[in-house]
Amino acid sequence: MTEYVTDERAAGDRRARFEALAHLVTEPLHRYLLRRADPDPVDDVLADTLLVLWRRIDDVPGLGPDAVRPWCYDDVMPWCYGVARGCLANARRADRRRRSLLERLTWATRPGVEEATDPDHSALHTALAQLRALDREIVLLWAYEELPPSRIAEVTGLTANAVSIRLHRAKKKLAAQVERKTAARPGHETDEGQGNGRSSR
């Protein structure tokens, strides 16, 4: 019983620290993001930032459970700006990947495009055709209609979590199939094994 009470007290303390932090930093972070991004994605990036702050509340300067002095705005704000900057960078990378896939999907599904004109996009079109119908629909709703998983869930009747899982798996399958088809095309040069100083990831 004592252990349960201790855990409850720790959880309550953690929640109180986060709520106090969120009250202080949400508006400055919102302004920070608005100055660096289009308004549309700002709320999502801010939500991601607050989620990271919740998960890492013990890492915020002055907010750890063993903090020896009261924390203040100047202690926490630079660290929180760094988190927001990272979340914005992640959002931009995700948007670039989505736009790249959308561009390739648009090209691959244009009528009259022959395989020989663009093997890469043809490979993507072939890979799309190999997905299950529902997975293909989820990918197209995400790429063409730019719907998030919560909205795709409304269209398909799945849960948002199920959509996220299917979308993640479908994109991995697409990437793997396209890579297999395009990696070893005859006459296609690669820099594998060349001493160009770049490391593979």
**65-76 as b/e: b if 16+ CB within 10 A:** eeeeeebeeeeb
The mean per-residue pLDDT over the stretch 30-43 comes to 91
SS3 per-residue string spanning the chain: CHHHHHHHHHHHHHHHHHHHHHHHHHHHHHHHHHCCCCHHHHHHHHHHHHHHHHHCHHHCCCCCCCCCCCCCHHHHHHHHHHHHHHHHHHHHHHHHHHHHHHHHHHHHCCCCCCHHHCHHHHHHHHHHHHCCHHHHHHHHHHHCCCCCHHHHHHHHCCCHHHHHHHHHHHHHHHHHHHHHHHHCCCCCCCCCCCCCCCCCC
Task: Please tell me which residue, 79 or 178, carries the higher pLDDT value.
Answer: 79
pLDDT over 70 (residue 75): yes
The per-residue pLDDT for range 89-129, each reduced to its tens digit, is: 999 888 887 777 777 666 655 555 444 444 445 677 778 88
Task: Please tell me which residue, 197 or 21, carries the higher pLDDT value.
Answer: 21
Q: Do domains 2-95 and 109-183 have the same CATH topology?
A: no
Task: Please tell me which residue, 35 or 108, carries the higher pLDDT value.
Answer: 35
CATH number of 109-183: 1.10.10.10
Task: Please tell me which residue, 95 or 27, carries the higher pLDDT value.
Answer: 27
Domain boundaries, the chain: 2-95, 109-183
Task: Please tell me which residue, 191 or 109, carries the higher pLDDT value.
Answer: 109
Tell the CATH topology of 2-95: Rna Polymerase Sigma Factor; Chain: A (1.10.1740)
- Rounded CA gap, 94 and 130, in Å? 24
